[in-house]
Amino acid sequence: MKYSALISKKISKEPEIIGRDRYLNSAVLIPIVELDGIEYLLFQKRSQKVRQPGEVSFPGGHYEFQKDNGFLATALRETCEELGIEKKKIRVLGKLGTYVGPMGVIVEAFIGKLNISSLKELKIDAEEVDRVFILPIDFFINTEPLVYFSRVELHPKIKNEEGEIIDLLPVKKLGLPDRYAFPWTKGKHRVFIYKNDEETVWGITAELVYELVNKLKPDNNEKL
């Protein structure tokens, strides 16, 4: 068999994320709302009944193979469920991009404009969402985020509840370099913080906001 011919058939001309199936795959919609001629980004504060309770996010969730025909379908489905809005009232403006997080999550981010004249038109799902709020896009255009860092480490061993050491990566047995028998760092992980009078916007949500506003700034192509 000539593998080069098979590669030409099997390999996509569009770059793909290698090892995607090892990650938690999700999709979000970045909702834009226009009120009195001013455009806002809409955020939601997660309820205490869901994973990562109390955090600020955009509507979205896990990709479900049996329900969703692609990641945009995930973003729209979750937005409709969480915000209580009809799909026909969402105008998709495009895809912002793909975020790959250091903790094993992939987020496909889309942008959409909600055809509503008041937040009162939304019937949020109290099981998943505590509240929604809006912040002017101009606020993010004119406000640089605070920048902090966290440290990410890889551990070849763990201790279970009984105190037993579990070798996740048996370095000596596999003949790997000795340095991998101990925790090693992946370096610093950047964390953006947008302080405001509503709720602190940070983490992945802030990363997506930062990416969006930098695409909107006409004369600023530099990134932190």
CB atoms within 10 A of CB 49: 11
Position 114 scores a pLDDT of 97
DSSP 19: T
Instruction: Output the CA torsion sign for 32, 34, 37, 41.
Output: negative
The reported pTM is: 0.88
d(CA 202, CA 207): 7
Q: How many residues does the chain have?
A: 224
Which has the closest alpha carbon to 130: 56, 207, 205, 222? Answer: 56
Residue 188's pLDDT is what? Answer: 85
What amino acid is encoded at 197 in this protein?
D
Q: What is the pLDDT along the chain (224 residues), one digit of tens a residue?
A: 677 777 777 776 667 888 888 889 999 999 999 999 999 999 999 887 777 778 899 999 999 888 889 999 999 999 999 999 999 999 999 999 999 988 889 999 999 999 999 999 999 998 889 999 999 999 999 999 999 999 888 899 998 888 899 999 999 999 999 999 988 876 788 999 999 999 999 999 999 999 999 999 876 555 54
Strands (E), 36-145: 38-46, 56-57, 60-62, 90-100, 105-114, 129-136
* 176: Cα within 13 Å, side-chain hemisphere: 10
Please give the structure tokens belonging to residue 177: 């370099």
pLDDT at residue number 18: 86
DSSP 135-149: EEHHHHHH-PPEEEE
* 22-143+197-216 is classed CATH 1.10.150.20: no
**Close Cβ partners of 102 (under 8 Å, ≥ 6 residues apart):** 152, 186, 189
Q: For strands 184-194 and 165-167, give the pairing.
A: unpaired
